[in-house]
Amino acid sequence: MSEDNANKTYSLIANTTPAASTTNSPAGPGQQQRQNSLLPQDDELPTNVTTTEQLGDLPPECLSGDKERPLRHVDEDDNVFHYSLTPMTYSVGFILLVELLERFCFYGVNYTQTAFLTGVYDANWNANMSAVEASSYVSISVAVAYTSPFLGAFLADSMFGDYYSLLVGSLALYLPGLSLIALTTIPGLLGTEFNGKALAFGLIFLWPMGTGIVKSIVNVFGAKQFHPLLQSSLIESYYVSFYMCINIGALVGGVMVPFLAQVNVTEAYFLPVVMLGSAVLCFLAGTKRYNISKPVGGGVFGKKKKVAILRSNSDLSQKGSLWTILKIVVLIVPFNIAYSQMATTFIVQGTVMQKIGFIDAACMNNADAISVLFFGYVIGQKMYPWLAAKGIKIPTTYKFAIGSCLGAAAIGWAIAVEYMIHYNYNETGEKISIMWQAMAYILIGVGEIFAVSAAYEVAFSASPPEKKALASAVNLFCVGGLPNYICIFLYSACKKWFQNAEGVASISRLHEYAEAHVWKYFLVLFVIACFGIVLNLLPSVRRFVEGVEEAAAEMVKTPKMSRPQRHKRMDSWDFSDMKKEEMSPLLRAKRHQAYLKYGTGPVLNRNGSMRAGPSLEKKKAKKVKRSSIAKLYNTKSALPQVQVVMSPSGRLLQAGKLSQGEQDPLIPRSASFSELG
């Protein structure tokens, strides 16, 4: 039933929206509106609406009348969205499965590339690369993957939107890249000799560009399926599930693809092609259930916000600049250089160690995934809450220092393994067990929890609202882009240490590896990681980062609001009460909206992640008061010219304060009108 079929006089006074009268309620429109108007207006709206029983406690502005998606939201551009009570099972499940399968593909290929390029899986058909060349190829590929989120943010925010950008990245880049890599493994298919150009095009361009675009968008697209106000506390649980899917996909892909590659590398590399194709079909299957937002356009990464304009003429905005964000997140580069060795030099080292069953050098990367899962739970669910109860907060730079310390410990362990390899070969001529590498991967995994999670959090919280997508791309560049570019330079500068006694960069056999000096390269990495520890412990660095974080918090708390356009003043009316009634709730509501959107809640920016994911610290759910929801959703904009209405008793009423006379029983107590003389 529409608003026009209800009591028109009452509709004008209550100032309701059409959505209020389309709810599946047994009561009539007038009765439903009166019931909502009698609810305490200062009550905070719930942030975990998942049951039909909770719908009766919501204001009509939040109800859509859609049986499958009964929750309603209006964004700041007046776009209306409907949400399910159970988004995890209704729509988000498709997205989580896509993430799981995509991470299966990425890590399955990434973990095996060094061994494939050096001919470990097929000695007769391969790229015939040295350890240095293969490590450089893999580093370039990962660097491109962590640089392309800039492109992903641009496509999603300014051109196609999240949904279509995901399809573009998957179908135009990711899937063709995986297919081309797999085709190069078939002898004679792309030429009589191994087609290095086709491999380079797939490995260095198509595949990493596709994964960078997809990983920069998929997490925020999933978070957008939750009502931003009424289900905000559920978003943290979503990110936990998202984080688990990353690790499950990495773990399963990191086991199946390397194991199958030992039997048939062609079948191993076509498995990710099939998985990604399945992921795309799964994503398309949920299309009708998604909330698909349009790109905002305007500028490079989106238009400026209309209402919440942060102060730009103060030191606060300068401290929130992208240059400042870069100066902060670059502090974790020493740790990420150590992290980058898992897919490169750790693999080179592992190829001359003794396998345990099907567990080879590529499979050892799964020790990192297991470490992140286990210690992520211990640190996020046990240690951080315990410290919070004691009133202790670890400074961001100290988290970076802890991560760098663990990275240095991992490299130190790799040096110890180098000593054991050389000593055992000189004494017995035998290989040592591959399991000796496990500790290095475990230490890297724990370091991710501290360093990478903290970097994602500070990049989000300290960046300006209109530049958060770009700040996320800057952070990703320092997580995986810049460290791998540095590694490429180091490989070139230290290539003599990767050569055997004859000066040939071929060390895939134990006797050749024993003649090389890879331990010297690890020693350089150890010094870099130690430099990261010292840098992050400097008092001046700590004060700088804390100053930026405090300034960012101050910007969130005190936004400068643009003055709303006021109605034309008429001499015979007194608008003092109306101004007081309109401005205060609006100011509070808009400030709270900015806090919800740009505060320290779950990270809804385009980042994807390394497996450490977003911060695991608990966040308190943000709430909005019931009395603010109409202003927040701009309900009155539907009747912009209504200044005077007539009550059911025949009195002329003006927007403002209720008269001292008897309250009309048909007028809701939430309405604010005064009687005209």
Q: What is the pLDDT of residues 409-432, one digit of tens each?
A: 999 999 999 999 999 999 999 999
Looking at the structure, tell me whether residues 204 and 292 fall in a common domain: yes
> Average pLDDT, whole number, for the chain?
77
Domain boundary among 525, 551, 577: 551
pLDDT of residue 372: 85
Binned at pLDDT 50, 70 and 90, residue 591 comes out as low
Q: What DSSP line would sit under 27-94, residue for residue? A: S-HHHHHHHHHTS-TTSBPPS---SGGGGGGS-GGGB---SSS-EEEE-TT--EEEE-S-HIIIIIHH
pLDDT of residue 44: 77
Distances (CA, A) of 118 to 55, 126, 204, 578, 631: 61, 7, 17, 76, 64
112, part of any domain: yes
Q: Is the pLDDT confidence value at 389 over 90?
A: no
Q: Is the pLDDT confidence value at 273 over 90?
A: yes
pLDDT of residue 288: 93
Looking at the structure, tell me whether residues 235 and 213 fall in a common domain: yes
544, part of any domain: yes
Domain boundary among 49, 65, 83: 83
Distance CA 109, CA 145 (A): 13
Looking at the structure, tell me whether residues 422 and 496 fall in a common domain: yes
- Please give the tally of structural domains in the chain: 2
Query: Are the C-beta atoms of residues 508 and 370 closer than 8 Å to each other?
Result: no
Q: Is the pLDDT confidence value at 207 over 70?
A: yes
609, part of any domain: no
Distance CA 427, CA 625 (A): 74
416, part of any domain: yes
Looking at the structure, tell me whether residues 311 and 344 fall in a common domain: yes
Looking at the structure, tell me whether residues 296 and 410 fall in a common domain: yes
- Most confident region among 240-244, 392-396, 440-444 by mean pLDDT: 440-444
pLDDT of residue 152: 86
pLDDT of residue 362: 87
Q: What is the pLDDT of residues 82-107, one digit of tens each?
A: 999 999 999 999 999 999 999 999 99
Whichever domain contains 208, its CATH number is 1.20.1250.20
Q: Give 279 or 596, the one with higher predicted confidence.
A: 279
> What integer is the mean pLDDT of 504-510?
84
% of the chain beyond a pLDDT of 70: 70
Distance CA 446, CA 450 (A): 7
> What integer is the mean pLDDT of 3-7?
39
Looking at the structure, tell me whether residues 191 and 68 fall in a common domain: no
pLDDT of residue 622: 52
Looking at the structure, tell me whether residues 115 and 243 fall in a common domain: yes
Looking at the structure, tell me whether residues 126 and 79 fall in a common domain: no
Domain that holds residue 206: 87-551
pLDDT of residue 554: 66
Q: What is the pLDDT of residues 118-136, one digit of tens each?
A: 898 998 999 989 888 888 8
List, in sequence order, every beta strand (DSSP E) within 239-356.
308-309
> What integer is the mean pLDDT of 61-79?
87
Domain boundary among 59, 83, 107: 83
Residue type, 349: Q
pLDDT of residue 416: 97
Q: Is the pLDDT confidence value at 590 over 80?
A: no
> What integer is the mean pLDDT of 99-117?
92
pLDDT of residue 296: 66
Q: Is the pLDDT confidence value at 167 over 60?
A: yes
**Which backbone phi and psi does 570 adopt, to 5 degrees?**
-120, 135
pLDDT of residue 74: 87
pLDDT of residue 440: 96
> What integer is the mean pLDDT of 199-216?
92
Query: Are the C-beta atoms of residues 226 and 79 closer than 8 Å to each other?
Result: no
Q: What DSSP line would sit under 322-381, residue for residue? A: HHHHHHHHGGGHHHHHHHGGGGTHHHHHHTTSB-BTTB-TTGGGHHHHHHHHHHHHIIII
Question: ∠ CA 150-216-208 to the nearest 5 degrees?
Answer: 75
Looking at the structure, tell me whether residues 19 and 138 fall in a common domain: no
> What integer is the mean pLDDT of 275-298?
88
Distance CA 384, CA 308 (A): 32
Q: In what order do the strands lie in the sheet with 644-646?
A: 644-646, 652-655, 673-675
12, part of any domain: yes
**Which backbone phi and psi does 226 adopt, to 5 degrees?**
-100, 145
Looking at the structure, tell me whether residues 337 and 256 fall in a common domain: yes
Q: Is the pLDDT confidence value at 201 over 80?
A: yes
Q: Is the pLDDT confidence value at 185 over 90?
A: yes
Distance CA 613, CA 609 (A): 5
> What integer is the mean pLDDT of 619-646?
54
Looking at the structure, tell me whether residues 285 and 314 fall in a common domain: yes
pLDDT of residue 632: 65
Tokens of 350: 């592992």
Range in 31-35, 116-120, 447-451 the model is least confident about: 31-35
Distance CA 336, CA 455 (A): 11
pLDDT of residue 79: 85
> What integer is the mean pLDDT of 242-253?
84
Binned at pLDDT 50, 70 and 90, residue 533 comes out as very high
335, part of any domain: yes
Binned at pLDDT 50, 70 and 90, residue 642 comes out as very low
Identify which of 10, 5, 39, 9 has the alpha carbon closest to the alpha carbon of residue 22: 5
Looking at the structure, tell me whether residues 42 and 172 fall in a common domain: no
**Cα 168 vs. chain centroid, distance in angstroms?**
19
Residue with tokens 């998942």: 50
72, part of any domain: yes
Q: Is the pLDDT confidence value at 658 over 90?
A: no
119, part of any domain: yes
DSSP label of 213: H
Identify which of 622, 591, 600, 597 has the alpha carbon closest to the alpha carbon of residue 549: 600
